[in-house]
Each structure stands twice: as structure tokens, then as C-alpha cells.
């Protein structure tokens, strides 16, 4: 197949987006389980939605980054 730089650039952008989502998700997970010294209950937010959102963002972001990284050469 022809080497299409536009597809490579799109995959690179999606890979960077996935890495960013995974990092944000990891920070949310650390806040939710209490490993970072930020108390979200002061703002009226229970811990379980933060843990749920963090886990979802981490899993989807890591999957997206890995998927697009594996297909960079196509």
C-alpha cells in the first residue's frame, strides 16, 4: 500500500490523545482512592464516581494509544 502521511498523522494525534486520557484517568484514580492529597469530598463529590470515571478514562485511553501505536506503520 502507499504510504499516506495523513493517516500516519491522524494515528499519531489519536495516540497522543489516548495517552493524555490515560494520564488524566490515572490521576483521577489516584485521587479517588486517596493516594493523592486532594480531598474531593470537600466539594460535595463522593469518591465512587471519580474512581469510576478515572478507571474508564484510563482503560479507554490506554487501549486507544496501544491500538493506534500498533498501526502506525500502515
pLDDT tens for residues 15-64?
999 999 999 999 999 999 999 999 998 999 999 999 999 999 999 999 99
Q: 5 lies in a domain?
A: no
Overall average pLDDT of the 65-73 stretch: 88
Q: What is the pLDDT of residue 7?
A: 82
Does any domain span residue 3?
no
Domain count, the chain: 1
Distances (CA, A) of 72 to 3, 11, 12, 15, 23: 11, 6, 7, 9, 21
Q: Structural domain of residue 55, as residue ranges?
A: 18-70
| pLDDT recorded at residue 23 | 98
Instruction: Decide if pLDDT at 1 tops 50.
Output: no
Let me know if residue 7 belongs to a domain.
no
Tell me the pTM: 0.85
Q: Select from 58, 61, 63 the least CA-distant residue to 28.
A: 58
46 occurs within a structural domain: yes
In a domain, 59, yes or no: yes
pLDDT of residue 6: 82
The verdict on residue 11 lying in a domain is no
Amino acid at each position: 500500500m502507499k504510504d499516506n502521511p495523513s493517516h500516519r498523522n491522524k494515528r499519531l494525534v489519536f495516540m497522543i490523545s489516548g495517552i493524555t486520557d490515560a494520564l488524566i484517568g490515572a490521576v483521577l484514580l489516584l485521587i479517588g482512592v486517596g493516594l493523592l492529597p486532594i480531598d474531593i469530598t470537600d466539594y460535595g463529590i463522593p469518591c465512587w464516581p471519580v474512581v469510576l470515571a478515572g478507571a474508564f478514562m484510563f482503560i479507554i485511553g490506554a487501549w486507544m494509544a496501544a491500538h493506534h501505536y500498533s498501526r502506525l506503520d500502515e
